[in-house]
């Protein structure tokens, strides 16, 4: 994860957040508490959270898989868009982070729809397949270790249903992907995966320049 500060100029970012947001009191409180953490910049911006909520609602999702919970702001945004019988399975390696979001999930009345699975995602994802969860998720949101994004994407393609949607965060990597001098492993991993998704016949895709860049990939086959 990395800072998801908007690429918009400051005054436009302020305008969007003050004018175009539908953020509940619990969402705002969770976002503000998270901002005080040493790693608070990992949190998605509110306009991206609202967009995720919109997508979940738009496709009529009932089952969501999230790879990378952090404090659960995005989790809360998506959970609020689900029907009463909908559920989110969210994967996180650090137990202290989702513990922060738990009280806000409860305040919002969605805690029972959220299942947190702790541990390394590349160990948890095969277990989901062992549980016959393949092709059962409507929506997958990926926001975790960038060096492992390709692996997450391949698991997501097995776990999402045909016609379902995968969203990958940080695909602009604060502009580093456009800097040929940046040859860090994380940067090259994102560049490689971007090219792979754009040319992948298994999906139709679009890169949305919201937050730090959100790649959308709809499974076609």
Reported as a single tens digit per residue, the pLDDT across 146-189 is 999 999 999 999 999 999 999 999 999 999 999 999 999 999 99
Is a pLDDT exceeding 80 seen at residue 3?
no
Q: Which tokens is 144 given?
A: 């975790």
What was the pLDDT predicted at 14?
Answer: 86
% of the chain exceeding 90 in pLDDT: 90
What was the pLDDT predicted at 8?
Answer: 77
Burial class (CB within 10 angstroms; exposed 0-12, middle 13-18, buried 19+) of 148? middle
Task: Return the biggest CA–CA distance within the chain.
Answer: 49
pLDDT band at 17 (very low <50, low <70, confident <90, very high): confident
pLDDT band at 13 (very low <50, low <70, confident <90, very high): confident
Domain ranges of the chain: 10-219
Q: How far is CA 162 from CA 101, 204, 220, in A?
A: 31, 11, 6
CATH for the 10-219 domain, from 3.40.50.10800, 3.20.20.150, 3.40.50.1820, 3.40.50.150: 3.40.50.150
- Calculate mean pLDDT across residues 127-133: 95
- Calculate mean pLDDT across residues 63-79: 98
């Amino acid at each position: 994860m990395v800072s998801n500060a908007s690429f918009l100029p400051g005054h436009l970012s302020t305008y969007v957040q003050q004018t175009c947001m539908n953020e509940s009191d619990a969402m705002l409180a969770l976002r503000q508490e998270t901002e005080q953490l040493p790693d608070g910049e990992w949190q998605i911006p509110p306009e991206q959270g609202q967009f995720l909520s919109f997508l979940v609602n738009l496709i009529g999702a009932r089952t969501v898989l999230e790879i990378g919970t952090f404090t659960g702001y995005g989790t809360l945004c998506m959970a609020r868009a689900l029907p009463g019988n909908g559920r989110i399975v969210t994967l996180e390696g650090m137990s202290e982070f989702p513990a922060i979001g738990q009280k806000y999930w409860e305040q919002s009345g969605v805690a029972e729809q959220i299942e947190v699975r702790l541990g390394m995602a590349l160990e948890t994802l095969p277990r989901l397949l062992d549980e016959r969860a393949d092709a059962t998720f409507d929506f997958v949101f990926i926001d975790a270790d960038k060096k492992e994004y390709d692996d997450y994407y391949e698991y997501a393609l097995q776990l999402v249903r045909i016609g379902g949607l995968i969203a990958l965060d940080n695909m602009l990597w604060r502009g580093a992907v456009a800097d040929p001098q940046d040859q860090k492993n994380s940067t090259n991993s994102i560049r490689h995966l971007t090219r792979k998704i754009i040319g992948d016949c298994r999906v139709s895709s679009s890169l949305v320049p919201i937050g730090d860049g959100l790649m959308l990939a709809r499974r076609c086959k």
